[in-house]
């Protein structure tokens, strides 16, 4: 298995500087300090270079959704907490028009469940074309997804599945997997995964991402 020290799907912040520090940057720094880790130790645990983690913590880099998931597992927390959305008292209801949309590497996602839970629920828009879906991921836990609109291509191990609206998939996350939109309009889906701690190295396999056929 090849370990990649950097995530090429990360995007450079506008202007290359943290003029407006994104919510994830101070949260990453706070979670690292709370864990009592130096920058070098945390970077090694997440299989990132210290320089790359520093750019994430200062907002000079915008993390992709797979990288957010990996960092959340590394620190034993949730994507919601990384985004500064943790509520003081858990609310079982998530209203329409609640937490705003977040975008990473072309994917748009909305919180669809409460924070501080053993499962994370997101509503996701997967764009067409090359994107995070090109990354093959593997990590402990389970994932469930339900296609709301568009067509979704799901790779599980050596098998490829084409999902239509109303189709769903429930699988062990230790099975190498990747997803991508199969049509020009992208795909909309509900996505639920269990929060089990694993390193970033366990999330992505292989070197350079390849285009879907």
Contact at 8 Å (CB) between 187 and 149?
yes
147: which strand partners? 189
Burial letters 31-60, b for 16+ CB under 10 A, else e: bbeeeebebeebbebbbbeeebbbbbbbbb
Contact at 8 Å (CB) between 153 and 162?
yes
Question: 17: left (phi > 0), else alpha (psi -120 to 50), else beta?
Answer: beta
Give the per-residue pLDDT at 1. Answer: 37
> Dihedral, CA atoms, 119, 123, 125, 130, nearest 10 degrees?
0
> Each residue of 103-139: pLDDT tens digit?
776 788 788 887 667 788 889 999 987 655 566 777 7
Give the per-residue pLDDT at 155. Answer: 93
Give this prediction's pTM. 0.54
Contact at 8 Å (CB) between 9 and 132?
yes
* CA 154 vs CA 135, 146, 147, 163: distances in Å: 12, 12, 11, 7
Half-sphere exposure of 83 (CA within 13 A, CB side): 22
The CA distance from 107 to 162, in Å, is: 19
Return the number of other C-beta atoms located less than 10 Å from residue 168's C-beta. Answer: 11
Give the per-residue pLDDT at 137. Answer: 79
Helix (H, G, I), strand (E, B) or coil at 63: coil
> Each residue of 24-36: pLDDT tens digit?
788 888 888 887 7
Residues of the chain with pLDDT under 70: 1-23, 84-90, 98-99, 105, 115-116, 130-135, 195-213
Angle between helices 39-46 and 50-57 (to 10 degrees): 100
Give the per-residue pLDDT at 170. Answer: 96
């Amino acid at each position: 298995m090849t370990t990649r020290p950097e995530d090429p799907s990360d995007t450079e912040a506008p202007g290359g500087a943290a003029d407006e520090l994104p919510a994830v940057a101070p949260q990453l720094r706070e979670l690292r300090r709370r864990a009592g880790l130096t920058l070098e130790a945390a970077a090694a645990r997440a299989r990132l270079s210290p320089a790359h983690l520093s750019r994430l913590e200062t907002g000079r880099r915008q993390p992709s959704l797979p990288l957010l998931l990996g960092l959340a597992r590394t620190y034993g927390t949730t994507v919601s907490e990384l985004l500064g959305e943790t509520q003081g008292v858990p609310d079982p209801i998530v209203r329409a028009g609640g937490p705003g949309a977040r975008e990473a590497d072309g994917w748009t996602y909305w919180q669809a469940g409460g924070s501080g839970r053993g499962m994370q629920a997101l509503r996701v828009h997967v764009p067409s074309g090359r994107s995070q879906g090109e990354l093959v991921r593997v990590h402990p836990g389970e994932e469930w997804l339900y296609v709301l609109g568009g067509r979704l291509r799901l790779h599980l191990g050596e098998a490829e599945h084409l999902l239509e609206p109303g189709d769903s998939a429930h699988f062990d996350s230790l099975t190498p997997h990747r997803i991508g939109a199969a049509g020009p309009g992208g795909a909309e889906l509900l996505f639920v995964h269990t929060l089990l701690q694993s390193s970033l190295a366990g999330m992505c396999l292989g070197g350079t991402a390849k285009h879907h056929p």
